[in-house]
Amino acid sequence: MSMQGAQTAEWFNRARAALVNGVSSGFRYLGDKDTLVISRGEGGHVYDMDGKRYVDFQCAWGPIILGHADPFVTDAVVAAARQGTTFAMTQQREVEAAEAVLAAVKWADKIRFTNTGTEATMHALRLARGWAGRDLVLKFEGHYHGTHDQLLFTTAGAPPAHLGSRLRPIPYQASSGIPDAIRTYVRTLPFNDIEAVDDFFDDHGHEIAAVIVEPMAGNAFGIPPEPGFLETLRARCSEYYAVLIFDEVKTGFRLSLGGAVETFGVVPDIATYAKALGNGFPVAAIALAADLVEGWKLGGIAQAGTYSGNGVATAAAIATIDRLEKTDAFQRIEKVGTALIEGLEGVLAEFGVEGMVLGHPGMFSVYLGEGRPTEYRDIADHNARLYTAVVEGMIGRGVMPCVDAREPWFTCAAHTMEDVHLTLEVFAESLRESLARAGTLPSHLDEPD
Ligand SMILES: Cc1ncc(COP(=O)(O)O)c(C=O)c1O
């Protein structure tokens, strides 16, 4: 059954005629009949070309933290656009935005802006390699750091059966077109495996330029760090003068104003921010501890970008941080997210479905499987078929998480308790329908209440 209404289908045909597969980002293509075309977003909702409203838990894959078209951010951006957007010089809003980021990300000494998360991690890695004078990078299975060649290995699409031994994993290349030589400089390990990290550092500590990690696995069910894991990375990187990079593209300005560093209390050498920093406008930042600043300050390690720090993006960042700081945005996210997490787990229990909700009120995933996963390999046997069936049923009923179970649900300050009640009702209905269709609905639940 198609997800598209008549107008949406017509627009998607137009989209396919002009854009490859009808999208501007490969991840957005869900098939010719199921990829939606959106006309507008407002608060916690989006509307397709047929005017159908959806409670939006994709939040653009994370950037929307205040709500779509937040009036305060929009006004700031309009005012900025009227004064010219980008110059070949530092501009006022860029300075103000950098000060605002540093006030939120208190551990950092300096930042530089980029436009996307991909650019931010690419530059962070080059800086780390240039600073350390080494080439090897360690990343974690199921973690995603953008589309550049350097880190596109063992992301959330990698088949767990092809990852090799836990202590000596095989990096799984996620795309054609990446030169074989790049794999030589990448090592992967299971997230949260302290023993594997220790073993790896014992053998290769002096070769490692950088360890990059999503402090909470924002592209693999929102799996949180186990106690001691981030601390181990910190200690081992310090011991071997390797650079610890937290990729906070999803967690930054979302778990809290200070991101995962504030939430988990471990401080990296570099962190990358994007998404929620601009509430939907393309702005990203690379934050540096004082030692790392020298790397760029002395020159010789290239970092540049024509649009980096532009007036529109930095106006959005200033306005977003202002609202996050001065309003009850985080309390609202906490309230709505907690109610959803508890409610979703309640529905799973009611229907006798094995699973749990993982993550944080601002970013969590519904995991349908056995036990509590702590790393990517644990999720190999999750019930993707049931999850997708349930979410397709939800989208049909006007509530939109991502159809991919590994991608978290994102909440924003504009979601309401009314959205929560609707979502829980729709989740229960869709779960009932999917279980009934699969012939696994418990007999005592076979009539709607
Ligand atoms: C943790 C993480 N890092 C980097 C990126 C890349 O960001 P962008 O899509 O802005 O290039 C993403 C995107 O989802 C991400 O989740």
Residue range 96-125: mean pLDDT, rounded: 98
Among candidate residues 326, 357, 385, the one where a domain is terminated: 326
Residue 31: inside a domain? no
Tell me, yes or no, if 247 is annotated catalytic: yes
Which pLDDT score, from 0 to 100, does residue 448 have? 54
User: Which atom of ligand 1 is closest in space to residue 116's alpha carbon?
Assistant: 10
Residue 436: inside a domain? yes
Query: Average pLDDT, whole number, for the chain?
Result: 96
H-helix segments, 82-168: 92-104, 117-132
**Could you give the CA distance from residue 193 to residue 167 in angstroms, rounded to a whole number?**
9
Give the residue whose CA is nearest to atom 8 of ligand 1.
117
Asked if residue 209 and residue 183 are part of one domain, the reply reads yes
**Could you give the CA distance from residue 156 to residue 373 in angstroms, rounded to a whole number?**
14
Asked if residue 352 and residue 221 are part of one domain, the reply reads no
Which pLDDT score, from 0 to 100, does residue 444 have? 83
Which pLDDT score, from 0 to 100, does residue 293 have? 96
Distance from Cα 182 to the centre of ligand 1, integer Å? 20
Which pLDDT score, from 0 to 100, does residue 350 have? 97
Asked if residue 252 and residue 292 are part of one domain, the reply reads yes
Domain count, the chain: 2
pLDDT at 203 over 90: yes
- State the burial class of residue 312 (Cβ atoms within 10 Å of its Cβ: 0-12, 13-18, 19+): buried
Which pLDDT score, from 0 to 100, does residue 185 have? 97
List all residues 6 or more positions away from 228 whose beta carbon is below 8 Å from its beta carbon. 194
- Structure token pair of residue 407: 């991608």
Q: The CATH number of the domain where 215 resides is what?
A: 3.40.640.10
3-state secondary structure of 221: coil
Asked if residue 164 and residue 93 are part of one domain, the reply reads yes
Asked if residue 421 and residue 394 are part of one domain, the reply reads yes
Ligand 1 in contact with 250 (CB < 6 A)? yes
- State the burial class of residue 98 (Cβ atoms within 10 Å of its Cβ: 0-12, 13-18, 19+): buried
Among candidate residues 295, 326, 357, the one where a domain is terminated: 326
* Beta strands 53-56 and 399-400, pairing class: parallel
User: Which atom of ligand 1 is closest in space to residue 251's alpha carbon?
Assistant: 1
3-state secondary structure of 440: coil
Which pLDDT score, from 0 to 100, does residue 447 have? 63
Ligand 1 in contact with 247 (CB < 6 A)? yes
Q: What's the pLDDT band for 380 if we cut at 50, 70, 90? A: confident
Asked if residue 436 and residue 305 are part of one domain, the reply reads no
pLDDT at 449 over 60: no
Among candidate residues 304, 326, 348, the one where a domain is terminated: 326
Amino acid in the structure at residue 76: A
User: Which atom of ligand 1 is closest in space to residue 121's alpha carbon?
Assistant: 4
Tell me, yes or no, if 335 is annotated catalytic: no
Asked if residue 314 and residue 206 are part of one domain, the reply reads yes
Ligand 1 in contact with 248 (CB < 6 A)? no
Largest distance between two CA atoms of the chain: 71
Ligand 1 in contact with 401 (CB < 6 A)? no
**Could you give the CA distance from residue 72 to residue 78 in angstroms, rounded to a whole number?**
10
Ligand 1 in contact with 125 (CB < 6 A)? no
**Could you give the CA distance from residue 50 to residue 22 in angstroms, rounded to a whole number?**
17
Residue 59: inside a domain? yes
Beta-ladder partners of 113: 285
Q: The CATH number of the domain where 366 resides is what?
A: 3.90.1150.10
Q: Which domain holds residue 366?
A: 37-68+329-445
- Structure token pair of residue 154: 């063992």
Residue 403: inside a domain? yes
Asked if residue 91 and residue 160 are part of one domain, the reply reads yes
Which pLDDT score, from 0 to 100, does residue 56 have? 98
Q: What is the DSSP letter of 43?
A: B
Distance from Cα 389 to the centre of ligand 1, integer Å? 26
